[in-house]
Structure 1
Amino acid sequence: MLRVESLKKSFDGFLAVNGAVLNVSRGDVVAVIGPNGAGKTTLFNMITGQIPPTGGAIWFKEENIAGLAPHRICRKGISRSYQVVNIFNRLTLFENVQVAVLSRRRKTFNIFRPAKTMAVAETRQILDSVGLLEKAAMIAGALSHGDQKVLEIAIALGNRPELLILDEPTAGMSPEETAVTLRLMQRLSGELGLTILFCEHDMGMVFSIAHQIMVMQHGRTIIQAPPAEVRNNPQVREAYLGGADECSV
């Protein structure tokens, strides 16, 4: 579904991403890991059109989307969440998700029909799928941090993505909230058949859910392989795990 080839991004001569390679097959859950500053978020920003690449190609369903605007990439079937929660704090949970659904349906400028009557069933179904339907009428800013991160995933689902990209989905969460998010990702992949690409620092979560793991260092791809192969790769242990004899996950 997604193929990244020799992707590069330079900021004033500094190569934040330097020839990264990534492959994501339909239906897979793929994790991107690496030390802070490895280039993971920059990679995601290029895939989703937030910043243009300096070089290389990003193939999504056999079309090179490198350099396209974010809204065009979104409409082709890619949605994402962010490291820092990005929601409408003063709107209800229902309204947050409804905005995404109406945007996908291109009904954001319909001035002849009250917005509250539009896309009600689909919005409620999305909230139900992530476990937030009972809180639909709450103001989003009043949610816990964990629920705000889950709401952001619900907003991304409002675009009916084929590929869902999650940037540190459990950052700042308690162990209980992390477990809830892990189960949600497993359900989205298993029951809904979503293809998921995510980066995460919780190695226990990564090795428990990912079908493939891509490891980055200094903007480069060290390896992409199944978890067992990554776990025992000497270069990964040296670069990412401090030279330990074995991953403690």
Structure 2
Amino acid sequence: MLRIESLQKSFDGFMAVADAHLSVGDGEVVAVIGPNGAGKTTLFHLITGQLKPDSGAIVFKGENIAGLAPHMVCRKGISRSYQVVNIFNRLTVFENVQVAVLSRRRKTLNLFRPAQTMAVNETREILDSVGLLDKADMTSGFLSHGDQKVLEIAIALGNRPELLILDEPTAGMSPEETAVTLALMKQLSSQRGLTILFCEHDVGMVFSIATQIMVMQQGRTIIQDLPEAVRSDPKVREAYLGGADTCSA
């Protein structure tokens, strides 16, 4: 579904992404890991159009989408969440997801039909699928941090993506919230058939869900392989996982 080849991006001489390679197959759950500053978030910005690469290819379903604007990338079938929660705090939970659904349907400027009556069933179905239907009428800014992160995933689902990109989906969560999010990701993969690409610092969580793991260091891909192969790779131990004890997590 997604193939990245020799991707590069620099800022004022600093090479944030130096030589990234990545392959994501249809239906896979692929993790990108690496130390702080390895280039993971920059890589996601490049895939989703927030940044334009200096060189290299981003091929989604056979089409090179490198350099496309974010809204065009979204319409191709890629949605994402962010490290920092990115929701409309003053809108209700329902309205946050409804906006995404209406945007996908391109019905944001219908002057003759009240927005409250549009996309109601689909919005409720999405909220139900992520466990937020009972909080549909709550103002989003009053949700817990964990629920706000889940809401952001629900907003991304409003675009009916084929590839869902999650940037540190459990950052700042309690162990209980992390478990809920992990279960949600497994559900989205197994029941909806979604392809998921995510980066995460919780190594135990990564190894419990990822079908493939790509490791970055200093903007470069040093390996992409099955979890067990990554766990035992000496370059990974040296660069990120910190030795046998961490790799056995």
TM-score clears 0.5: yes
Match of 2:111 in 1: 111
SS in 2 for 1:123: helix
Would you say 1:16 and 2:21 are equivalent positions? no
Equivalences for residues 84-95 of structure 1 within 5 A: 84-95=84-95
Equivalences for residues 1-249 of structure 1 within 5 A: 1-244=1-244, 247-249=247-249
Residue identity opposite 1:135 in structure 2: K
Identify unmatched segments of 5+ residues in structure 2: none
Q: Deviations over 1:45-64 (max 9, x none)?
A: 00000010011000000000
Q: Deviations over 1:142-179 (max 9, x none)?
A: 00000000000000000000000000000000000000
2:58 and 2:130 map into 1 onto residues whose CA distance is 30
- 8 A Cα contact 1:238 1:244, kept in partner: no
- Residues 1:113 and 1:246: Cα distance change in structure 2 (over 3 Å): closer
SS in 1 for 2:110: coil
Identify unmatched segments of 5+ residues in structure 1: none
Q: Deviations over 1:80-133 (max 9, x none)?
A: 000000000000000000000000000000011000000000000000000000
SS in 2 for 1:104: helix
TM-score normalised according to structure 1 size: 0.99
Residue identity opposite 2:77 in structure 1: G
Q: Deviations over 1:9-30 (max 9, x none)?
A: 0101110000100000000000
Structure 1 stretches of 4+ moved >6 Å: none
- 8 A Cα contact 1:30 1:198, kept in partner: yes
2:151 and 2:88 map into 1 onto residues whose CA distance is 10
- Residues 1:96 and 1:230: Cα distance change in structure 2 (over 3 Å): same
Identical positions, percent:
80
Shift of 1:242: 2.6
- 8 A Cα contact 1:167 1:200, kept in partner: yes
- 8 A Cα contact 1:232 1:246, kept in partner: no
SS in 2 for 1:172: coil
More helix by share: 2
Shift of 1:236: 0.3
Q: Alignment RMSD, CA only?
A: 0.8
SS in 2 for 1:240: helix
Shift of 1:248: 3.1
Shift of 1:241: 2.0
TM-score normalised according to structure 2 size: 0.99
